[in-house]
Structure 1
Amino acid sequence: MSNRVEDVAAGAPWRLSQSVRRAAQTYFPGFAVAALIATSAAFLSEHYGAPATLLALLLGNSLSFLSESNTKTAAGIHLTSRNVLRIGVALLGARVSVEMVSELGAGLISLVGAAVVFTMLATSIVGRTAGMSWRLSLLTGGAVAICGASAAAALDAVLPRRGNRETDLTLTIVVITVLSTSAMIFYPMLAIWLQFDAHQAGVFIGGTIHDVAQVVGAGFSLSEETGEVATFVKMIRVSLLAPIMIATSIFSALLGADDGQKVRKLSQAIPGFVLAFALLAALRSLGLLPAIVADLTGEVSRWALLMALGAVGLRTPLKELATLRLSTMGLALLATGLLTTFVVTGLLWRRG
C-alpha cells in the first residue's frame, strides 16, 4: 500500500508537467500571435499617432486565417479573445478612484452621469426600434457614453454570447474610433465657438469624446487647464463602467431567463472579473493600492486589452467588415449627437 502511495506521489509532478506542456502546445501559438499584434499596434500607434486599439483590430483582421479551426493558433486565439479580455477589464479598476468624482462637485457629476445613462438608454431604444439587435445597440451606446473601445470590450464580455459576437464588437470599435478621432479634431473648435472658458471646455471635451487618448489630445490642444479638467471628467465616465457592467450583467440574466430560472441566473449574473474591477477601484479609492501598483496594473491592463482586441480581430475576417451598414454608423452618430447635445445643453444652462 505504501509503495503504491509513493508511486502516485512520485508520478504527480510528471503528470503536472505533462499537463502544462500540453496546455502550452495548445494555447501558446495563438497567444504569441496576439502578443505580436499588440506589440505591433503599440509601435505603430506611438510612431504614427493612430489609435492602438483600432490598429490591433485591423492587424488581426488581416491575419484572420490564423483563427481557422484547422490551425495550431486557433485555440490560443480563442482563449486570448475571451480570458485575456476579462483580465484586462478587471485590471481597469486600478485606474478608477472615487476621489476623482468627489473633487468635481455634485452638479457636474450629476450632469456627466445623467448624460451617460441617457445616451445608453436612448441608443438602445432607438437601435431596437430601427430593427438592430439590442446587443449591438447596447455596445454602441456604451462605447459612446463611457470610454470607447474599452467600454465596448467590457460590455461585450458581460453580454450573452452569440455567434456574431466578434463581428458586433469589431464593427462597434471601428465606428467609434473613427468618430472619436473626428471629435478630437472638431470639438475644440466647437468649444471656442460656444465661448466656453477653460473649465467648461474641459467638461465638454471630457464629457463627450469617446476614447481617453482623444480626450487628452483635444483638451491639451486648447490649454493645460482644459486638458487636466477634460482628463479628470473622462475618468469620471470611466468610473461609471463598473456599476454599468453590473447592471448590464443583471439585466442580461433577467432578460434571458424564464421565471423559474431568474433566481439562479441572477446569482450568476455578476462575473468574477466584474467584482475584481470593483474591488480594485475600491482599493484605489481607499488608498490601499499604492500608486506604483496602480500604475503597473493599469499598464498590464492596457496590454491585455490590446492583445484581446487583436485576438477579436483575428476571429473576424475582413469580409465581415463589409457587413457594416449605414444603420450601424447612423446609430453611432446618433448616440454621439445625443451625448454632445445633453452635455452642451447642461453647460449652457449652468452658465445661465
Structure 2
Amino acid sequence: MDTPARVSLGSARVRTLAPGVLACGVVGAAATFLSEHYGAPVMLFALLLGMAMNFLSAEGPCRPGIEFSAKQLLRIGIALLGLRITIAQVAALGWAPVATVVLSVVITIGVSMLAARLMGFKTSFGVLTGGATAICGASAALALSAALPNHPLKDRATLFTVIGVSALSTICMVLYPMLAQALGYAPLDAGMFLGATIHDVAQVVGAGYSISTEAGDAATLVKLMRVAMLLPVIVFAALYTRRTGQAEAGGERPPLLPWFAVAFAILVAINSTGWVPKAVQSAGNDISRWFLVASIAGIGMKTQLKELVTVGFKPIALMLGETIFLALLALALLRWLH
C-alpha cells in the first residue's frame, strides 16, 4: 500500500473515532471542573457523568470512540503511570503485598471452583469467575475463557462474567475507598487494600487516586502484581483443559500479559535510573491523568447494569460472594502479614 492510501485510511480511522473520543474528553473536562470547584474525586465525577450519558454508547457515531477511550486510552494512561513510580518505591512496599496478592489469587480461585460445584455449575465456571475477580476483571475473563473447555453455555458464561465483574468493580470503586477510610487506613495501606481487591485496573486507579497520590501509586503497583498472576493462572487453566480432554477449538488466544503492564514495568525501570527529565515526567503524568479520566468516562458510558437481571440469581450470588470473600481475605492478609 502506498503512502497516500495509508494516510487516507488513517484519516478515516480518526474521523470514525473522533466523536466518541471528543464526548469522553468533554465529560472528562466537566468532571475536572467539578472536582476542582467542589473537592470531590475527579474519577467519581467522570464515572457518574459518563453513566448519565450512557445513550451515547448505543449504535451511533460515538460508539467506536467510546470503545477506544475505554480500552486504549486506559491502557496508555496506565502505562504512562510508570513515569511516576520507581523501583525504590516498589521495594518500600515490602514482601507483604506480594504475599497478599499470591495468596489472595490462589485461595479465591480455589474457593470459587468449590462454590461453583456446590451451586450446580461446572468447575470451569468457578475458574472463570474466580479468575476474573481475583486477577484483572474483564481482561482475565476473556483470557481464561480461551483456555477453558468448550461447553454449550460457555459464551453466555463469559458474557455474564465480563458484565458482572465490570459492574461489581464499578461499585467497589465507589465503596472501598470509603471503607478504607472508615477503617482508619493510612494512604499506603488503603492503596494496598484497593489494589488487592478491586477487579478492573481502571477502577483501581480511580479509587486509589481518589484518596491520594500515595494511595493511587500503591494501588496501581499492587494491582499490576495481580495482573502478572494472569500468566500462571492461564497455565493452570490450560492444564485443566488438557486434564479434562476438552481443548479449546480454534481461535486466537489473547496475550498472557497485557502490553500495558509490560510498558508500565519498562517505564518504571527507565524512571528508576534518574535519567528522565522532570519536564518529561510532568508531561507524562498530565497526559496519563487526562487519558485515565477520559477512559473512566467511557467506561461509565458503557455500563449496562440492567443486563445482569437477565442471567438469574445464582450466578450473581456466586460473583458477589467471590467479591466479598476477596475483600475479607485481603483485609485479613494485610493485617496478618503487614
Aligned: 1:245 with 2:231: no
Which residue in the other structure is 1:89 paired with?
78
2:133 corresponds to 1:140: yes
The match for 2:327 is 336
In structure 1, runs of 5+ residues without a counterpart are: 1-7, 143-150, 192-200, 218-230, 348-352
Q: 2:98 aligns with which of 109, 113, 132?
A: 113
Match of 2:23 among 11, 16, 33: 33
Is 1:284 aligned to residue 284 of structure 2? no
Q: CA deviation at 1:75?
A: 1.8
TM-score by length of 2: 0.70
In 1, Cα distance between equivalents of 2:232 and 2:104: 19
CA, structure 1 residues 205+181, in 2 after alignment: closer, same or farther (shift >3 Å)?
closer
| Superposition deviation, residue 215 in structure 1 | 4.8
Q: Distance in 2 between matches of 1:251 and 1:20?
A: 38
Contact 1:80–1:308 (8 Å) recurs in 2: yes
Residue 212 of structure 1 corresponds to 208
Q: Distance in 1 between matches of 2:225 and 2:297?
A: 27
Counterpart Cα distance in 1 of 2:209 and 2:90: 20
- Asked whether the equivalents of residues 184 and 215 of structure 1 are also in contact (C-alpha less than 8 Å), the reply is no
Per-residue deviation, 1:327: 4.7
Residues of 1 paired with 2:238 and 2:172: CA distance?
Answer: 27
Distance in 1, matches of 2:87 and 2:271, equals 8
Distance 2:274 2:134 in 1: 32
Q: Which amino acid in structure 1 is aligned with residue 94 of structure 2?
A: I
1:79 is aligned to 2:68: yes
1:346 lines up with 2:337 in the alignment = yes
Contact 2:194–2:219 under 8 Å retained in 1? no
Distance in 2, matches of 1:80 and 1:156, equals 20
Number of equivalent positions: 298
Counterpart contact for 2:98–2:225, Cα < 8 Å: no
The match for 2:112 is 127
Residues 297-352 of structure 1 show CA distances to partners (whole Å, capped at 9, x for unaligned) of 233222222222322232233423667945544433322222222222234xxxxx
Distance 1:87 1:206 in 2: 21
SS of corresponding position for 1:130: helix
Once the two structures are superposed, the pairs formed by residues 109-188 of structure 1 within 5 Å of their partners are 109-131=94-116, 134-142=127-135, 162-164=158-160, 167-188=163-184
- Mapped to 1, the partners of 2:261 and 2:189 lie a distance apart of 29
Q: Deviations over 1:275-305 (max 9, x none)?
A: 2111101101222323332232233222222
Cα separation, partners in 2 of 1:326 and 1:88, compared to 1, 3 Å: same
Structure 1 residue 240: Cα displacement: 4.3
Q: Give, in whole Å, the separation in 1 of the partners of 2:161 and 2:70.
A: 11
Given the alignment, which residue of 260, 280, 302 partners 2:289?
A: 302
- Superposed CA deviations along residues 53-88 of structure 1, whole A, max 9, x for unmatched, are 34333333332222223x111222222222222212
Change (3 A) 1:18 1:213: closer
| Pair 1:265–1:303, CA change in 2 (3 A) | same
Extract unaligned runs of 5+ from structure 2: 117-124, 147-157, 196-206
The Cα of 1:28 is off from its aligned counterpart by 0.6
- The answer to whether 1:58 aligns with 2:27 is no
Deviation, structure 1 residue 129? 3.2
Map of 1:148 onto structure 2: none
Specify the code of the residue in structure 2 equivalent to 1:167: I
Query: Is the contact made by 1:41 and 1:55 (CA closer than 8 Å) also made in structure 2?
Result: yes
Answer yes or no: is the 8 Å Cα contact 2:164–2:308 preserved in 1.
Answer: no
More displaced stretch, 53-62 vs 160-169:
160-169
**For the Cα contact (< 8 Å) 2:137–2:162, is it kept in 1?**
no
Q: Which piece of structure 1 moves more, 44-53 or 118-127?
A: 44-53
Amino acid at match of 2:53: L
Displacement, 1:241? 4.1
Cα pair distance change 1:80/1:254, threshold 3 Å: farther
User: Using a 3 Å threshold, how does the CA distance of structure 1 residues 54 and 333 change in structure 2: closer, same or farther?
Assistant: farther
Which has the larger Rg? 1
